[in-house]
Amino acid sequence: MAVWNQFPMKWVVLMSNTISIPAEDLNYTSGKLPVHSDPNPEAKPLPKVTIDGKAYEFKPGDTIMQVAERYKLHEDIPRYCYHPGMPIAGTCRMCTVEVEKAPKLMTSCSTPAGDGMVVHTRSEKVLKSRNGVMDFLLTNHPLDCPVCDKAGECELQDYTFEYGPQESNFKEEKRVYSTATTKKLSDKITLNMNRCVHCERCVRFTDDVTKTNDLVMVNRGWHKELTVTDEKVGLVNDYQGCLTDFCPVGALTMNDFRFEKRVWFLDKKPSVCDGCSKGCNIEVHHDKEVVQRYVPIFNEKVNNHWMCDEGRLSYHTYADANRIVSPLLPDTVSGRLSSTNWETAANIVNARVKNASKILVVVGTDATNEEAMLIKGHFAARAEVKHHSGFGENKALDHLLRQSDKTPNTKGVAAIGLAAMQASDVTGKDLVVVIRQGRAQMPKVEGQDVILVGVYSREEIDALKASNVRIQAVLPSLATIEKEGSFTNCDGITQSFNATVAHRGKALALPKILAALVGEKH
Amino acid sequence: MATKNISRPYTIAQKLYVFYIIKGMLINLRRFFSGLILQRNWTIQYPEERRDYSQRFRGAHFISVDKNKTENCTACFLCETVCPAECIHIVAEERDDDKNPDGVWKEKKPLSFDIDLLRCCFCGFCEEACPKDAIKLSRDYEMSVSNRDDAIFDLAHLKREINGRG
């Protein structure tokens, strides 16, 4: 208890940039805020546009859609091709609005707002136009919602309910793409071309965001089809999961999530990805505490709308059947590790720590700031405390998000005052305590007595035993999504997060394990 | 709470006993003759004789199959979503391409489809929610089982041949 008082969590919370729960869909979140004129009477006032009878100030250069986004009116304007994170195309004609004195309906995504413009987003003419667009989009849509994984979060479904015709005027046979009905574009993405509404968000994403130019639309009109640019190379970019996030229909689906769960069963909680030092903001989607997928949350300062595939699939580490979730102690005779209860384990490790004179504590850089401080508080007086990531100096792997350091908190742990571990630190120690709860690599501890604390898999333990490490105990602790804390990312932004799913094994939170190690009543 | 004793003394006719015996025997005699001579029976010889239930009677579930004996279910989970008793449990998977002549319409299939009859309240919501007319309730009312495990219908059992409702 004394340690908590010594290092109050308050300062971490004060400086942190707490993730707020997103109020809306990622495809709608732009991060644009309302603008206000300079109150100084001599300054030139900002131009105003009237939307649905109310005047709104905007920044010169905004399109009508962007003004609506500033004032959270965007739910009145449906869209397929427009996405706040991509360049404007203006192809889907769904976002048309009526502008007074304009001869025709205007696409709100590409029409710049003008001073004194009067816009109606729900006039009779507009609704009739949207109804017509929906009718055309649904002519060839297979309407296989029972099979489609997008059902429940599909924009085509939502807009059909809101604007669409009740019955189709199209009586002819629907178009079917024989070769692209279900086609694996890569090992991560499956394409179903029949569902596609040709918004080309995916093409613009690979052109302008990842700049890999993987996807392209071939042919025209009725036969327009999405394919990979080079069949020999295929779809190879590292942000393929994003394609499924913004695809408004179920044309692009993620193999990892495909047929796993219907989306309306999912509980959604915000968290921070611990896959690399970028710390992308994510939403953990789980059903009955079983994580089904990660989805990025918009954060302009960190990850924008995107997230890499490596981080997106990193939840498998914590759902692994081989993860150790109860404390293990070696048998006194055979040395085989077998599971035990926490009381026995606590007594044995406590005695082991007390008897050792030279202890090295290695903190993986995937510990949260709070945990690192707590470890320092517990062990600074009686042991050497070092941090270890195993990835070396961090550098960006591409122009977007991916980083070479695969641990989330290297900066934060270093800022608390722990030095990096050197290879020579291990020599001459009685006991090494390794605390590693994520993707930090194991330090080299061959031939040492080691207590392992954190998240380990059975394979890792076997590999350690094979490399002549004398494991004294394995004490499982909670993974990032199961605990609360804060990470400082590679740009120095501290982000705090709460627990998203409940742990289902016997692992304990790190403060309790540390108290057991040093023999404190907690 | 205090007990209140109320005495109901027998009348003389009751004490004599014989009048009430005769009254009871007359009821027996009346039923005996109406059944034997007028054939007005209210019970039936059950296993040999079946009662005719309404065409809308909701009995045991089944899953309809197409001509290839493939289930019509595409594991859309709508029945599981709508079920008020939470008795349906589905696990979905992708159907093998070579076993799927129907293409995208049957690309998804149930790996397992369990209905816990002990929880089911036979409301018929699943039948109403099903977009593929796959899950249906038959008019079969004989669902007695000798242990609890048998009361869970699995996919193989649900695909049995049975007539639907009229």
Q: Return all residues near A501 (Cβ < 8 A) that are at least 6 apart.
A: A269, A284, A286, A289, A290, A291, A481, A482
B163 has a pLDDT exceeding 90: no
- Given this model, what pLDDT does residue A428 score? 80
3-state secondary structure A144-197: CCCCCCCCCCCHHHHHHHHCCCCCCCCCCCCCCCCCCCCEECCCCEEECHHHCC
Q: Parallel, antiparallel, or unpaired: how do β-strands B152-153 and A96-99 relate? A: unpaired
Angle at A461 between CA A274 and CA A413, to 5 degrees: 35
- Given this model, what pLDDT does residue A30 score? 75
Q: What are φ and ψ of residue A302, in 5° steps?
A: -110, -70
DSSP letter (8 states) at residue A208: I
- Given this model, what pLDDT does residue A20 score? 45
CB–CB contact B105 A144 (8 Å): yes
Size of interface A-B (CB pairs under 8 A): 37
- Separation in Å, CA of B44 to nearest CA in chain A: 45
Enter the tokens of residue A518. Answer: 């040093």
CB–CB contact B92 A145 (8 Å): no
**Digits of tens for pLDDT over chain A (522 positions)?**
344 444 444 444 434 444 444 445 666 777 788 888 778 878 888 899 999 999 999 988 899 999 998 888 878 899 999 998 899 988 889 999 999 999 999 999 999 999 999 999 999 999 999 999 999 999 989 888 888 899 888 999 999 998 988 888 888 888 888 887 788 899 999 999 999 999 999 999 999 999 999 999 999 888 899 999 988 888 888 999 999 999 999 999 999 998 888 999 999 999 999 989 999 999 999 988 899 999 998 888 888 899 999 999 999 988 888 999 999 998 888 878 888 999 899 988 888 888 888 889 999 998 999 999 999 888 888 888 889 888 888 889 989 899 999 999 999 998 988 888 888 888 888 889 999 998 888 888 888 889 999 999 999 898 988 888 888 899 999 999 999 999 998 988 999 999 999 998 899 999 999 888 887 654
CA distance A407 to A410: 7
CA distance A374 to A9: 10
Q: Which of B81, B93, B108 sits opposite A147 (nearest CB)?
A: B108
Which residue in A507, A491, A452 sits closest to A499, CA to CA?
A507
Q: Which of B78, B94, B104 sits opposite A181 (nearest CB)?
A: B104
Q: Which of A146, A182, A260 sits opposite B131 (nearest CB)?
A: A146
- Given this model, what pLDDT does residue A333 score? 81
Q: Which of B81, B92, B104 sits opposite A194 (nearest CB)?
A: B104
CA distance B96 to A95: 40
pLDDT tens, residue by residue, A449-469:
899 999 999 998 989 888 888
- Given this model, what pLDDT does residue B105 score? 65
- Separation in Å, CA of A190 to nearest CA in chain B: 12
- Separation in Å, CA of B79 to nearest CA in chain A: 11
Domain A323-518: CATH architecture, name and number where available: 3-Layer(aba) Sandwich (3.40)
pLDDT tens, residue by residue, A497-520:
999 999 988 999 999 998 888 876
Q: What is the mean pLDDT of chain B?
A: 88
A59-89 in b/e form (b: 16+ CB < 10 A) is eeebbbbbbbbbbebbeebbbbbbbbbbeeb
Domain B61-158: CATH architecture, name and number where available: 2-Layer Sandwich (3.30)
Overall size of chain B counted in residues: 166
Neighbours of B166 (CB within 10 A): 8
Handedness of CA A299, A300, A305, A311 (dihedral sign): negative
Enter the tokens of residue B132. Answer: 């593929």
As a whole number of Å, the end-to-end CA separation of chain B is: 57
* A453: β partners: A435, A475
Q: Parallel, antiparallel, or unpaired: how do β-strands A290-296 and A281-287 relate? A: antiparallel
Q: What DSSP string describes B49-82?
A: S-----TT---SEEE-B-TTS-BS-----HHHHH
Which residue in A303, A336, A357 sits closest to A461, CA to CA?
A336
Instruction: Supply the pTM of this predicted model.
Output: 0.84
B129 has a pLDDT exceeding 90: yes
CA distance A360 to A349: 15
**Residue A150's closest chain B neighbor by CA?**
B76
In the block, tokens 């270890």 appear at A388
CB–CB contact B81 A142 (8 Å): no
**Do A485 and A412 form a contact (C-beta atoms < 8 A)?**
no
**Do A146 and B131 form a contact (C-beta atoms < 8 A)?**
yes
Which of chain B's residues have a Cβ under 8 Å away from the Cβ of A193? none
In the block, tokens 């709860």 appear at A437
| Exposed / middle / buried, residue B44 (Cβ in 10 Å: 0-12, 13-18, 19+) | exposed
What ranges do the domains of chain B cover?
A: 10-42, 61-158
Enter the tokens of residue A306. Answer: 């995107």
CB–CB contact B104 A151 (8 Å): no
Look at residue A249 and give its three-state secondary structure. coil
Q: Parallel, antiparallel, or unpaired: how do β-strands A252-254 and A225-228 relate? A: unpaired
Percentage, residues of chain A above pLDDT 90:
42
Percentage, residues of chain B above pLDDT 70:
95
CB–CB contact B77 A142 (8 Å): no
In the block, tokens 């644009």 appear at A32
CA distance B164 to A167: 30
**Residue A144's closest chain B neighbor by CA?**
B105
3-state secondary structure A320-381: CCCECCCCEEECCCCCCEEECCHHHHHHHHHHHHHHCCCEEEEEECCCCHHHHHHHHHHHCC
Q: B interface toward A at CB cutoff 8 Å?
A: 74-78, 81, 92-94, 103-108, 131-132
If you compute the radius of gyration of chain B from its CA atoms, what whole number of angstroms results? 27
- Separation in Å, CA of B90 to nearest CA in chain A: 10
Which of chain A's residues have a Cβ under 8 Å away from the Cβ of B132? 146
- Given this model, what pLDDT does residue A10 score? 41
Residue of B76, B83, B93, B135 to mutate for A, most A C-beta atoms under 10 A: B76
CB–CB contact A145 B77 (8 Å): no
What is the Cα A388 distance to its own chain's centre?
A: 24
Neighbours of B110 (CB within 10 A): 22
Percentage, residues of chain A above pLDDT 70:
94
Q: Which of B92, B104, B132 sits opposite A182 (nearest CB)?
A: B104
Enter the tokens of residue A436. Answer: 């590693």
CB–CB contact A265 B77 (8 Å): yes
**Do A384 and A500 form a contact (C-beta atoms < 8 A)?**
no
Which of chain A's residues have a Cβ under 8 Å away from the Cβ of B93? 259
What is the Cα A425 distance to its own chain's centre?
A: 36
A218-247 in b/e form (b: 16+ CB < 10 A) is eeeeeeebbbbeeeeeebebbbbbbbbbbb
Q: Which amino acid is at A49?
A: V
**Do A420 and A413 form a contact (C-beta atoms < 8 A)?**
no
DSSP letter (8 states) at residue A21: P
Q: Where in chain A is the domain with CATH 3.40.50.740?
A: 323-518
Q: Which of B94, B103, B132 sits opposite A146 (nearest CB)?
A: B132
Enter the tokens of residue B54. Answer: 């309404």
What is the CATH code of the structural domain delimited by A22-122?
Answer: 3.10.20.740
